[in-house]
Structure 1
């Protein structure tokens, strides 16, 4: 049980770092408007709403990388051969994703991909479980 908990924690940390990395790259490619305050939610919503397709899609790419890595790392740490830690990581990330999509203006395709992408934790689990 302790290994599963540690696996979930490790998976969340690793997945979060991947998402952060891709989103940092995305902010370099699509910087915030000049003078935008970091805590101005209305300005941030406007930024998201006016973000081009690639800027929004990069968020999904970050989620995909985070899901794969999270599933992989959590499975390797848990070492129990079960997808439990990976699935828990996916559900935690999915909860945060749904919250963000409810708060921010996101198109329907983003909702669909934003939910489906977290099933990739199972691909990470499979990669970690393979004997090769």
Structure 2
């Protein structure tokens, strides 16, 4: 049980790092206004409602990478061959994504992809099972 908890934590950390890296690339290509970086939630809402497609799509790409990374990491660390740790990571990230989408004015395509993309934790899980044990 402790190993699964550690696997989930490691998966969440690894996935969060993946999100951060891809979002930084997206922000470099499509910089948000300075007010957004200062933590102004109203400015963030305005930006999201007017952001170009690719600025938002980079977030979906970040989620996709995070899903695969977290599923892979959680499966490798749990070391039991079951998808439980990967599934828990996917559910936690999905809940965080839904909260963000409720908080911000995201378009319907973002909702659809933002929910579906977390199924990629199972791709990470399968990849982890196909690689050598650590």
Shared fold (TM-score greater than 0.5)?
Answer: yes
Shift of the 131–43 alpha-carbon distance from structure 1 to 2, 3 Å rule, reads closer
What's the C-alpha RMSD, in Å, of the aligned pairs? Answer: 1.3
Mapped partners of 2:79, 2:37: distance in 1: 44
Mapped partners of 1:21, 1:131: distance in 2: 24
Q: How does 1:15-34 map to 2 (within 5 A)?
A: 15-34=15-34
Shift, 1:5, TM fit: 0.6
TM-score by length of 1: 0.95
Tell me what 1:54 maps to: 54
Tell me what 1:101 maps to: 101
Shift, 1:49, TM fit: 1.1
Does the aligned pair in 1 maintain the 2:35–2:43 contact within 8 Å? no
Give the paired residue count.
132
Does the aligned pair in 1 maintain the 2:19–2:63 contact within 8 Å? yes
TM-score by length of 2: 0.94
Q: Secondary structure at the residue paired with 1:68? A: helix
Mapped partners of 2:12, 2:106: distance in 1: 24
